Chains A and B, each alone.
Chain A
Amino acid sequence: MSFDADVIVVGGGLAGLSAGITANREGVSTLVLERGEYSGAKNVSGGRIYVHALRNLVNIDDAPLEKPIVRETYEISCGSRKLNFSFYDPETRNSYSVLRAKFDPWLAKKAEEEGVLISYETLVYNAERDVNGITLKTNRGDLRAKLVIEADGVTAGISRYLGIRSLSPDSLMLGVKEVVKPDNVPEEGEAKVLVGYLNGLLGGGFMYVNQDSLSIGATVKVNSLQEEKILARDVVEDLRAKLKVEGEVLEYSAHLIPYYGFNKLPPLSAPNVLVTGDAAGLLINDGFVIRGMDLAIGSGMVAGKASKVILNQGDPSKTEVYEKMLAESFVLRDMRTASRAFQLMNNERLFKTYPELLCNVLARMFTVEGERKTLMNVMVEETKSRGLTLTQMIRDLMKVV
């Protein structure tokens, strides 16, 4: 049986394009399949990319990024009380707000200029493995490859079709988002993390400043949506009303977010398959940064390099080397570093107990009523009244440290 390409990359988003570009540079015959009319047509992100990995892939001088994020803001709301703080660093160019339907086509064009073949409007609806490779069932007929790089996003279709994966609502978050054009867009790029704005749903809100718009949205654990009385469709509108952001709504979108963490990662490879990006559950949330796109690019690049090594070894079913290379790269190293902090970010206490506890402690410290208590005593009382101990709280805090 003949092959349509040595390597077929399923998905033309950030992971897929990075894999396609890298494999092509390695001299491997490569084909990228994208189900959208263009790369980015089906992609949604919260809206911030850390560009270190992108810089290693291509020259980003003309990249259609939105604004450099120079202000990091946290807003914690507990009823009418609010705590917010910002870190401002005007010189940094470490991360940018981004809109994927603008950005991904630019990267796809870069790939095509280097000779990467991208087949658009190509939907893979099944995959079968045989002794020599993988056959992909697509709306354009069967396509065969020795090696498949799976870059089909969080729903991991290829892994599911091959039976190495199933999805579960407690490892997934739903992101819902609006792009809004307010009367005045802030001059400087800002990223806001919003805690306590989601009526008790497990998750958080976000806001990013783009060139001429704002990205406003929320990420919510799917199992929390299943249990609570709040409709996913109302989450962003409700958040926007609370933030009092007015303006023309340009887009309403939604996307699942992988929320596995290093200790619960899905299979990263299988015979004849390398899994990358969201499909591999690569997402980091350590309390300071929420990253997915740079991990997608990083893992795609590693998969592209690994494909050459695997093909040279002569047996495309032996894919372990990819996992070894990924473990040596920043992708899994950073996933590992963040694993304890991630556990806290996945903990109900963080969403439900701590914001309100913090507000109460502060409210008491800023109030004079005749009997002054030390901060320590106030903290002990407030943790106790919530069935927590100070030790538990410190243990949680240490996870981030």
Chain B
Amino acid sequence: MDLIKRLSLNKYRVDKESHIRVNLDICRTCSEKPCIKVCPAGTYERSGDVIEVHYERCLECGAALVACPFSAITFKFPEGGVSFRFG
């Protein structure tokens, strides 16, 4: 099943502002972009030599706190965000 379809099974209350910040100056220097591989929600997408953040997809697993070896990602939990029905 396609990722976006899978994510849409969850209930989301999307915050007005992103709860994830990326330091693009650091991001630019990284070629591997391991955050893209680690995030189970596909929140991080390559965009030129940096990443684009789809914060509305976030499953709030917390992996973003350690996904970037260069500490370019600042992650706080959103006020709204995902609500699981099964968990």
Instruction: Enumerate chain A interface residues (CB-CB to B < 8 A).
Output: 35-38, 40-45, 99-104, 121, 123, 125, 139, 153-155, 157, 167-169, 172, 174-176, 178-179, 213, 222, 225-233, 235, 237, 249-256
Name the residue of chain B whose CB is nearest to the CB of A213: B86
User: A225 and B6: CB pair below 8 A?
Assistant: no
User: A42: shortest Cβ distance to chain B, in Å?
Assistant: 6
User: A256 and B62: CB pair below 8 A?
Assistant: yes
Q: Contacts A139-B79, A178-B6, A249-B1 hold; do A167 and B66 have CB atoms under 8 A apart?
A: yes
User: A169 and B66: CB pair below 8 A?
Assistant: yes
Name the residue of chain A whose CB is nearest to the CB of B83: A41
A103, B10: Cα distance in complex, Å = 18
User: B37 and A252: CB pair below 8 A?
Assistant: no
Name the residue of chain B whose CB is nearest to the CB of A168: B66
User: A253 and B63: CB pair below 8 A?
Assistant: no
Quick one: which of B64-87 are within 8 Å of A by CB?
Answer: 65-67, 69, 76-77, 79, 81-87
Ranked 6 nearest A-B pairs via Cβ = A100-B87, A101-B87, A252-B6, A254-B40, A254-B61, A226-B34
User: A102 and B63: CB pair below 8 A?
Assistant: no
Q: List 8 A-B contacts (CB under 8 A).
A: A43-B84, A44-B61, A45-B87, A101-B87, A153-B62, A222-B63, A233-B3, A252-B7
Name the residue of chain A whose CB is nearest to the CB of B61: A254
**Chain A residues positioned under 8 Å from B40 (CB to CB):** 174, 176, 232-233, 235, 254
User: A119: shortest Cβ distance to chain B, in Å?
Assistant: 14
Name the residue of chain A whose CB is nearest to the CB of B81: A42
**Chain B residues positioned under 8 Å from A255 (CB to CB):** 59, 61-62
A121, B76: Cα distance in complex, Å = 15
Q: Contacts A222-B38, A251-B10, A253-B10 hold; do A232 and B63 have CB atoms under 8 A apart?
A: yes
A125, B10: Cα distance in complex, Å = 24
User: A155 and B41: CB pair below 8 A?
Assistant: no
Name the residue of chain A whose CB is nearest to the CB of B38: A225
Please report the number of residue pairs spanning A and B whose Cβ atoms sit closer than 8 angstroms: 128
User: A73: shortest Cβ distance to chain B, in Å?
Assistant: 22
Instruction: Enumerate chain B interface residues (CB-CB to A < 8 A).
Output: 1, 3, 6-7, 9-10, 34, 36-42, 59-63, 65-67, 69, 76-77, 79, 81-87
User: A253 and B87: CB pair below 8 A?
Assistant: yes
Q: Contacts A123-B77, A172-B66, A222-B63 hold; do A99 and B38 have CB atoms under 8 A apart?
A: no
**Chain A residues positioned under 8 Å from B60 (CB to CB):** 42
User: B86 and A231: CB pair below 8 A?
Assistant: no
Name the residue of chain B whose CB is nearest to the CB of A139: B79
User: B37 and A225: CB pair below 8 A?
Assistant: yes
**Chain B residues positioned under 8 Å from A36 (CB to CB):** 83
A123, B78: Cα distance in complex, Å = 8
A117, B48: Cα distance in complex, Å = 49
Residue from B79, B81, B84 in contact with A251 in the complex, judged by beta carbons closer than 8 Å: B84
User: B85 and A251: CB pair below 8 A?
Assistant: yes
User: A101 and B3: CB pair below 8 A?
Assistant: no
**Chain B residues positioned under 8 Å from A226 (CB to CB):** 34, 37-38, 67, 69
A62, B74: Cα distance in complex, Å = 42
**Chain A residues positioned under 8 Å from B7 (CB to CB):** 252
**Chain A residues positioned under 8 Å from B41 (CB to CB):** 233, 254
Name the residue of chain A whose CB is nearest to the CB of B82: A42
